[in-house]
Structure 1
């Protein structure tokens, strides 16, 4: 019997909504090319879909960290993802007195190490369809394929769909998500 693990992992990776093909150069995110030679922050500042995330990273004092060597896997919420939060939430989180809470929310979207779509899919295949990764914030995120896409599931059961996977950076990888996950 031939080994099916590799074809299954490849099929799962391809099935991830919006995945960038392996070897793709400079995928577009938010109307801007993302360069694998630039850091997470250097690329994110050019995406018109991530202006809220960039403002939050600046307010939390995480620019130097996410510009550092890493590597990091970032599940990057879009402006629309932040807009789904209850009215006033983003403004409240951006207040200096809420820096700790903002930092917790943002670091809940970051996993130490580089995890591509195919690696997450392979982990899920080995563990009954669900992969689990520990965030920089300290809690786990779960990943599961459902309804033709891959979902990030937070500690409270909230879900965020990966819309663009495998945006490679010099210090890790970004996966764009459509909802802010909460610790």
Structure 2
């Protein structure tokens, strides 16, 4: 009888630990979520270089159209290196990927543009059921964070 109670307590404790881990990961902010994903290393490096970590860890909410590492790989190495060294230009490019507010995929498809934190509008288009943001294909949507949402895009978009 004691063994069965101990077993039930162990199972309950394990379930509680899994639930707590799920809750903690669901509550990660945009930066921590990007780091944990492991596919946004260049973006995280750029956010750090532009001193935008505190902003993207802030209360938000923010919507980030986040280029993954494969998207950054499309940028010529010399251009990316130069951008990472120019804090002002880098900040403009990165904030062009951010929209104030939490805009879920179901909302994005209803828009034709969205005002970025950088100040310019991102052009949004839906073609054959696929969403494009300034020509970049949205390849994953609705990654919820404690301070907003991330939508993954396949290219880096640049302000005009």
Q: TM-score, normalised by structure 1?
A: 0.71
Q: In structure 1, which of residues 38, 63, 66 is the aligned counterpart of residue 53 of structure 2?
A: 63
Structure number with higher helix proportion: 2
The structure, 1 or 2, with the larger RCO (C-alpha pairs under 8 Å, 6+ apart) is 1
**Ranges in structure 1 where 5+ consecutive residues have no aligned partner:** 1-33, 125-130, 154-158
How much does 1:120 deviate? 1.5
- C-alpha distance in 1 between matches for 2:25 and 2:66: 16
Report the equivalent of 2:94.
Answer: 106
Shift of 1:148: 3.8
Task: Name the SS of the counterpart of 1:35 in structure 2.
Answer: helix
- For residue 36 of structure 1, report the CA deviation from its aligned partner: 2.7
Measured against aligned partners, the alpha-carbon deviations of 1:128-182 in whole angstroms (never above 9, x if no partner) come to xxx21100000000211114411001xxxxx100000000111000000000000
Q: Identify the match of residue 163 of structure 1 among 139, 142, 149.
A: 139
Q: Which runs of 4+ in 1 moved over 4 A?
A: none
Alignment of 1:87-102 (within 5 A): 87-95=77-85, 98-102=86-90
| TM-score with structure 2 setting the length | 0.81
Which of 34, 37, 54 lines up with 1:47 in the alignment? 37
Q: How many residues align?
A: 136
Q: Equivalents in 2 of 1:179, 1:60: separation in Å? A: 19
1:27-57 deviation per Cα after TM superposition (whole angstroms, max 9, x unaligned): xxxxxxx933110011111122100000000
Task: Give the 3-state SS of the residue equivalent to 1:45 in structure 2.
Answer: helix
The answer to whether the Cα contact below 8 Å between 1:167 and 1:174 also exists between their aligned partners in 2 is: yes
Q: Which runs of 5+ in 2 are unaligned?
A: 1-23
Alignment of 1:132-143 (within 5 A): 132-143=113-124
What is the aligned-residue RMSD (CA, Å)?
Answer: 1.3
